[in-house]
Structure 1
Amino acid sequence: MAERKGRKGAETRVRLLDATQELLESGGYFGAGLNQVIAAGNAPRGSLYFHFPGGKDQLVAESVRRAGTAIGTALADLADSAPTAEAMVESVLTFLGERLESSGWRKGCPVATVALEMAADNDALQEACAEVYASWEAALRARLDGRPGADDLAVTILAMVEGALVLARARRSREPLERVGRQAKALLART
C-alpha cells in the first residue's frame, strides 16, 4: 500500500511539472497560475504544496530545469550524431522548428519567457534560467572545441537560435530559423 501511495505521489508530481511546463511555454510565468496548474495537472491543491513547499517559484524553477534538461539532452544527441558543427546547428534548428510548428507555435524555448519575465526580479528563477542556458552553451561548445573562439561561438549560436525562435513564434513561420541556419553555417565556415 505504501508503495502505491509513493508511486501515486510521484505521478502527481510529474503531472504538476508537465502542466507547469506546458503553461509556461504557451503563456509564460503569469500564464501558469497555480489554479491553471492544478486543473491541467488534475491534482488536488494540497498536492501542489506537498510536492512544492516553496510554492510557485519552486514549481517553476524545477519545471524550467526539467525542460532545460530535456532540450539539453536532445542538443547533446544532435551534436554527437552530426558529422560537423554546421550539420549540428542545422539539426538543432530543424528539431526546434519542428517542435515549435507542431505545437501550433506555442512551444518555442521553455526558458526564454520565464527569463524575460522574471530573471530581473526573482533570484531563484534567474538562477534556474542561467543554469539551463549554461548547460546548452556547454553542449554547443563541446561540439565546437578546437575552433578558435569556441566559447564566443557557442554563446553567439545560442543567442542566434533563441532570437530565431522568438521571431519564428511571432511570425508563425520557420523562415527565421532557416535564415539563422544559413548565417550560422557561414559563421562556422569562417572559423
Structure 2
Amino acid sequence: MGAKGAETRDRLLDATRELVETGGYFGAGLNQVIALSGAPRGSLYFHFPGGKDQLVGESVQRAGQAIGDTLVSLAESSPSVTEFVEAVLRQLGDRLEESSWRKGCPVATVALETTATNDPLQKACSQVYTSWEAALLARLAGHPDAEDLAVTILALIEGALLLARVHRSREPLNRVSRQIGALLR
C-alpha cells in the first residue's frame, strides 16, 4: 500500500475512533465515517473488506493501543504504583473533561453494545482489556496479589470513567484514586 492509501486508511480509522468513542458502535455509521474522514466510499470497502465490524474492531484496537502506550509511559515515569494510578486517572480525567464528557473509555461502549452477539468485536475488546491488565500487572510486579489487583484497578478505573461521564464530574475519578491508594498501602 502506498503512502496515499495508508493515509486514507488512517483517516478512516481515526474518524471511526472519534465516532465510536463519542457514540459507540451504533453511533458510527458508515456514512458518518466517510463524511468525517473525507475519504471516498470505495476506499472504505477497499481497506476494510470486512465492513463495519472490521473497521470498528481495528479502531478499538488502535484506541486501546494508544491508552496502553500511555499506561506504559506513566508506569515508567511514576516512582510508585500509587502515583502511577493517580497519573492514569488524572490523564483519563483530563481527556474526558476536555471532550466535554463525551470520551470516556474508548472500548467500553462498543463492548457493552456488541460483545454478546459479535465474536470479532468481543475478541478485539477482550484483547485491549487484556493488554491494559498486562500493563497494570507489569507495574504491580512483586506486589502480593498483583494479578487480582490489576483486574481490580482496571475495573475501578472503568467504573469511575463511566460515573464521571454520567455525572460530568471528576469526583468519581478522585474517589477511586483515593481508594486504589488505600488498597495499595
**Residue 182 of structure 1 corresponds to which residue in structure 2?**
178
Structure-2 separation of matches of 1:54 and 1:145: 39
Where structure 1 has 5 or more consecutive residues not aligned to the other structure, the ranges are none
RMSD, matched Cα: 0.8
Matched, 1:75 2:71: yes
2:88 aligns with one of 81, 89, 92: 92
Name the amino acid aligned to 1:90: E
Deviation, 1:169, is 0.4
Letter in 2 for 1:112: A
Tell me the distance in 1 between the aligned counterparts of 2:143 and 2:48.
43
Alignment correspondent of 2:34? 38
Q: Which digits, 9 at most, give the CA deviation of each residue in 1:61-113, with x for residues without a partner?
A: 00000000010000010011111100000000000000000011111110000
2:119 — aligned with what? 123
So what's the TM-score if we normalise by structure 2?
A: 0.99
Letter in 1 for 2:165: R
Corresponding position of 2:14:
18
1:173 and 1:69 map into 2 onto residues whose CA distance is 26
Equivalent position amino acid for 1:78 in 2? L
* d(CA) in 1 for partners of 2:135, 2:6: 29
TM-score, normalization by structure 1: 0.96
Select which of 89, 94, 102 maps to 2:98: 102
Following superposition, the deviation at residue 8 of structure 1 comes to 1.3
The answer to whether residue 147 in structure 2 is matched with residue 161 in structure 1 is: no
Deviation at 1:6, TM superposition (A): 1.7
Correspondence for 1:150 = 146
Q: Compute the displacement of 1:171 (Å).
A: 0.7
Identity of aligned residues (%): 72
**Runs of 4+ deviating beyond 4 Å:** none
Counterpart AA for 1:92 = V
How big is each residue's C-alpha offset from its partner over 1:2-34, in whole Å with a ceiling of 9 and x where there is no partner? xxx821111110110000000001000000000
Instruction: Name stretches of at least 5 consecutive residues in structure 2 with no aligned partner.
Output: none
